[in-house]
Amino acid sequence: MADILLIEDDPLVRRGLELALSRHGHHIRAAATGEDGLADFEASRPDLVVLDLMLPGVDGFTVCSRIRSADQTPVIMLTARGDDFDVVGGLEAGADDYVVKPVQPTVLDARIRAVLRRGNGDGHGVSVHGALRIDTTALTVTLHGEPVALTPNEMRLLLTLSRAPGRVFSRQQLLEAVWEHDYLGDSRLVDNCVQRLRAKIETDPAAPLYVQTVRGFGYRFGPL
Note down the domain range covering 194. Answer: 126-221
* Residue 145, domain CATH: 1.10.10.10
Domain match, 86 and 133 both: no
Work out the pLDDT band at 83, boundaries 50, 70, 90: low
How far apart, in whole angstroms, are the C-alpha atoms of residue 44 and residue 102? 27
Domain match, 137 and 174 both: yes
Tell me what the mean pLDDT of segment 177-192 comes to: 74
In this predicted structure, what is the pLDDT of residue 124?
Answer: 44
In this predicted structure, what is the pLDDT of residue 119?
Answer: 58
Work out the pLDDT band at 223, boundaries 50, 70, 90: low
CA-to-CA separations, 153 to 10, 177, 190, in angstroms, rounded = 28, 10, 10
How far apart, in whole angstroms, are the C-alpha atoms of residue 161 and residue 182? 18
In this predicted structure, what is the pLDDT of residue 123?
Answer: 42
How far apart, in whole angstroms, are the C-alpha atoms of residue 50 and residue 53? 10
Q: What is the pLDDT of residues 118-136, one digit of tens each?
A: 655 444 456 778 788 888 7
Domain match, 160 and 66 both: no
Among 116, 150, 165, give the residue marking a domain's end: 116
Domain match, 137 and 103 both: no
Q: Average pLDDT of the chain?
A: 85
* Residue 100, domain CATH: 3.40.50.2300
The angle that helices 152-162 and 105-118 make with each other, rounded to 10 degrees, is 60
Q: Which residue has the higher pLDDT, 202 or 95?
A: 202
Domain match, 94 and 176 both: no
The neighbour count for residue 74, using CB atoms within 10 Å, is 25
How far apart, in whole angstroms, are the C-alpha atoms of residue 34 and residue 43? 14
Residue 121 lies in a domain: no
Among 66, 98, 116, give the residue marking a domain's end: 116
Q: Which residue has the higher pLDDT, 150 or 84?
A: 150
| pTM of model > 0.85 | no
In this predicted structure, what is the pLDDT of residue 62?
Answer: 92
Task: Report whether pLDDT(183) > 90.
Answer: no
Domain match, 109 and 42 both: yes
Work out the pLDDT band at 80, boundaries 50, 70, 90: confident
Among 97, 116, 135, give the residue marking a domain's end: 116
Tell me what the mean pLDDT of segment 39-62 comes to: 90
Cβ atoms of residues 52 and 36 within 8 Å: no
Residue 91 lies in a domain: yes
Please count the structural domains in the chain. 2
- Residue closest to 65 by CA, chosen among 25, 98, 94: 94
The neighbour count for residue 48, using CB atoms within 10 Å, is 24
